[in-house]
Structure 1
Amino acid sequence: MEAALWSDGIPSDILGLISSRLIAAEYFIFRAVCKKWRHAPVTPPHCPAQSEISPRLITMRGDTGIVDFFHPVYNVMTTTSIPIPKLMNSRIRSSKGNWLLMSHGDCDMFFFNFISNEIIELPDLQGESRYITCWMFSCPPNSSSSACFVVGLKCSGNPPDVCIIKVGETNWTFHNLSDLVDTYKRFELTGCSSPIFFRNNIVYVVGDKGNLGLLTINENSTPSWEFYGKPFRGRRLKSINYVFTAEDVENKGILVVFLSHHEGKVEVWRYKLNGEVLEREEITSLDNNKTLFVSLVGSYLKTCVAPGLGNKIYFSMFHNENGVFYCLVNRKYYSFDYLDIKTYSSPNIFNFIRPISCIWIESEDE
């Protein structure tokens, strides 16, 4: 007669209580302990109501004005119960803290606070400023410690023209910087890159050719561009479709994720300025204690948020209703389903859904 396993004596309600507090890899290890635990009616993990352990993906349902929040570690989607009319047919452009920079069409820009639902209107764009496609802002618009600048880049310019307003002003300022075209004709930007607004009013932008542009915002004078690094060679350039950038605080630089056009091949590069020299290297690992969350208009590099998610890149993609991440070790995309205890993997992005208007956000205390 076989000896009873110690695990067989644990009541099902206790198993459910334990499993509801496990996340990511811990949950799957729990189900693999023994046959009883694997088939017991255990409870999938629940997303905490208040404390957030990772960035969330916020998505606008443009036709309704409803906001969705996706919690990647728990595969949980929460939705605002009341539509917000101002958000109907709007698009997310950038984020900082609890604030989103939004737009209606080509001319109507405004801020939206997704915690308080507060809205701050900005003056309508006029003339050439209406063709701006790439946006960012320096700090929360209600900040009392420093001025908030909203900056837009006209991606068809070479180098990009710049549109700026300081929150509280009544007019945008458009700067045509085409006089630099002969000197910096190698820097191009078509809107596939997500800029980073760094400290001291400096914007870091990775160009389509892999080189780096720094835009310095001068409050009382014309903004200025500086460019670093040589373009990638033609073979590599042809495959680049999207460029995602995230601040790398520990290394005092940025991480750049290149996504190829067809199958979704992923490359990660570390960029760092050493004086006037751009140091640029491809890396194959984020280390096991780092996770990247990337979207076209905002990305984060975070300390590993859950067991098993180190050295992974979360994209703003879904397989069915489950979040999608890319494993840098196996070079594959994955998603997992807590309810069915299933893991989906793919070497490409063909079967994934990509929301049109979304961004990774981190809440801050009001």
Structure 2
Amino acid sequence: MEETHYDKLWSHGIPSDILGLISSRLVAAEYFVFHAVCKRWRYAPLTPPSLPPRLMTCSPTPRLMTLRGETGIVEFFDPLYNVVTIQNMDIPKLMGARIRSSKANWLLMSSGSRGMFFFNPISNDIIELPDLLEEHENSCSAWTFSCPPDSSSSDCFVVGFETGIYVPDVYIIKVGDTEWTHHYFFNTGDFATSDCNNPLFFKNNTIYLLGDKGNLGTLCIKGNSATQRPNWKFYGRHFPSSKQTSIRKAYTVEDVDNGGMLVVFLSREEWDVEVWRYKLKGKMLEREQLTSLDNNKTLFVSSGGSYLRTCVAQGLGNKIYFPMFHDNNKGKGVFYCLANRKYYSFDYSAIKAYSSSNIFNLVQPRSCIWIEQEDD
């Protein structure tokens, strides 16, 4: 009886306004802990967490940027606070543009059939690139670039891949050049890639590209020049045919600590998620499937821009944030828990958190990408 009386005093002794003040300081999985304290707290309405000043320039995690090309409106989703903020950039060049790749706080954009430019959504700076060659237009479905285009420490290369059933042809330009170079590769070989993954730029101007059969292609830019013909190399055995056909989507991200890359595979039928580590050792490709992320890290994946980061808040470790939302894209981002094999969302406005074993009811914006502010 004394214990029951004590619990009642604990749960009812705190005024509702104080509970709201407490909940407004919670982020990520902290609100699950809040609900678990007692029955009254479990059904208490949560106050959404207070946003820090200048959220758009100080978020400790990558943010998912969505460009509404028909209006030019830009939306930023912050996974830590599970909130979307909307900015009307009023920049005519963004109308009808498409996000292709990201690095730090710079985006590579395409416009129309030939236009290419860089855009910084933090400063609103734009760096123009020459139009693509008229005879080819923009037939590239995968793009990457080596470093921020305003960097003075190294040259910035931009590379586009014409993916398909053959070894990809490539477009290359070094920022400052006046014309793109188009390199043909006639070797059908044993490597092909679709537009379901994003190329990764590594040191020494080497690019990693995942093949549709699970193998790896590397493209090396020679002589610090866009005009000199680059060199393809291919590594690894093919996945079994049954696994190849089961892959619906693949996201790649640099694994800095292990000197390779991680690949997140999303299956076609069950929407299962697999994480694989790819690492080159000499001429050999080592692949292993992971059951968890090292050191309680978090993955943020999207086509054209993905990040592997150390967990910054309780409940974000060993999770994969996809560019997806539930509840009609109302700022309720979705992550996948590798431990529980389910999709979840931290929904501060609901008593019961969203969870699902598949992505059938989720929404993915057409032009979205994770971005991360680079330290000054």
Shorter-normalised TM-score: what interval?
A: over 0.9
1:139 to 141, 147, 150: 147
Tell me the equivalent position of 1:265: 272
Q: 1:246 to 1:101 in 2, by over 3 A?
A: same
Uncovered stretches (5+) of structure 1, i.e. residues with no partner? none
Show CA shifts across 1:207-265 (max 9, x none): 11100011111223211111100111111011112110011111111110111223422
Letter in 1 for 2:335: F
Structure 1 range deviating more: 260-269 or 71-80: 260-269
SS in 1 for 2:138: helix
Q: How does 1:170-189 map to 2 (within 5 A)?
A: 170-178=178-186, 180-181=187-188, 185-189=189-193
SS in 2 for 1:30: helix
Instruction: Verify the 8 A CA contact 1:193 1:208 in the aligned structure 2.
Output: no
2:344 maps to 1:337:
no
2:171 maps to 1:163:
yes
Q: How does 1:200-279 map to 2 (within 5 A)?
A: 200-218=204-222, 219-220=224-225, 221-279=228-286
2:129 maps to 1:122:
yes
Show CA shifts across 1:43-85 (max 9, x none): 2213323431211100000110010000112110001134321
Show CA shifts across 1:96-127 (max 9, x none): 11110001132111111101111111111112
TM value normalised by structure 1: 0.94
Letter in 2 for 1:24: A
Q: Separation in 2 of the partners of 1:300 and 1:319?
A: 22
Instruction: Verify the 8 A CA contact 1:66 1:84 in the aligned structure 2.
Output: no
Tell me the equivalent position of 1:8: 12
2:321 maps to 1:311:
no
Letter in 2 for 1:318: F
Q: Separation in 1 of the partners of 2:85 and 2:35?
A: 26
CA shift at 1:141, angstroms? Answer: 0.8
Q: Separation in 2 of the partners of 1:82 and 1:56?
A: 17
Q: 1:243 to 1:40 in 2, by over 3 A?
A: closer
Q: Separation in 2 of the partners of 1:152 and 1:330?
A: 37
2:108 to 85, 98, 101: 101
Instruction: Verify the 8 A CA contact 2:69 2:94 in the aligned structure 1.
Output: yes
SS in 2 for 1:305: coil
Instruction: Verify the 8 A CA contact 1:129 1:163 in the aligned structure 2.
Output: no
Structure 1 range deviating more: 275-284 or 30-39: 30-39
Tell me the equivalent position of 2:29: 25
Letter in 2 for 1:147: D
Structure 1 range deviating more: 149-158 or 54-63: 149-158
Of structures 1 and 2, the one scoring higher in RCO (CA 8 A, sep 6+) is 2
% identical aligned pairs: 63
Show CA shifts across 1:152-189 (max 9, x none): 111126211111011111100011121x33xxx21101
Q: Separation in 2 of the partners of 1:162 and 1:35?
A: 60
1:362 to 360, 372, 376: 372
Alignment RMSD, CA only? Answer: 1.7
SS in 1 for 2:88: coil
Letter in 2 for 1:252: G
Letter in 2 for 1:197: F
Q: How does 1:264-303 map to 2 (within 5 A)?
A: 264-287=271-294, 289-303=296-310
Q: Separation in 1 of the partners of 2:137 and 2:182?
A: 6
Q: Separation in 1 of the partners of 2:249 and 2:124?
A: 31
SS in 1 for 2:209: strand
Q: Separation in 1 of the partners of 2:357 and 2:119?
A: 37
Aligned length: 362
Structure 1 range deviating more: 24-33 or 9-18: 9-18
Q: Separation in 2 of the partners of 1:223 and 1:213?
A: 13
Tell me the equivalent position of 1:198: 202
Structure 1 range deviating more: 158-167 or 256-265: 256-265
Letter in 1 for 2:42: R
Uncovered stretches (5+) of structure 2, i.e. residues with no partner? none
